[in-house]
Structure 1
């Protein structure tokens, strides 16, 4: 079954959200210790930017009440969530729950929070922010990384979590 949507002219937000959902993304937890407690959000707009210097980028909705708290942190932990961490992603995206309930995490000496079971941990510092329409574009400098190549990453596609398969 194929659905064709006309994208000529300025698409409405719902049509654009549907169009963007066709691009599969990973899911990244962005977390830090604030006032001795973990604070975090889930983002799916994450990209590598530069190897020298080591930079990554995320985009955060301007409507986020959590981002302004995280933005002032000394260090941020970015965890590329594993395929088994869909519920953690939902918790981090929720506004009405303890986002870290039953979620194993650890804090670095500098206050970044990383999630156990993730495929990748990055410890980062905010380098700069830019206006991105209804989002803030955040450029982060990577100061440390820990890779877990045996962990399959969580994939978000068409508003659902998916599993990777090897193409033949």
Structure 2
């Protein structure tokens, strides 16, 4: 009887299928890649499962595509998407994923959400924005010129207007 070195693959063989797997921390039992059905390894399902608490303490999300021969740790991207969705729904991060998001969130791209703006942070932002030079094009300048004369258009915007326009433009 002839023996073959070939063994069946456990990964999907669809050419366009990217698989996402979540590593979970099970405390004293250690870390493990969570078992997943073939149909539940797409990004949308993984994000939905993370948001609904299907993972107790996720530590990493990895994506791979065997047809394209690549794999990548996508934890940072998934953390940003989890934060974005919770912000859009104006809800807190679920406790099961808050550590994961904090650990993997890109600190340079992190934005303050509206619910985390305190009066102190708002006053600091207004103070900072009021020290910024007036932009070359400011739609409010024409109105100020008409209301207060040409000399008013040369000065900086009041802090409240500058803060408002900065939030609208960003």
Q: TM over 0.5, yes or no?
A: no
TM-score by length of 2: 0.24
Higher radius of gyration, 1 or 2? 2
Structure with a larger share of its residues in helix: 2
Structure with a larger share of its residues in strand: 1
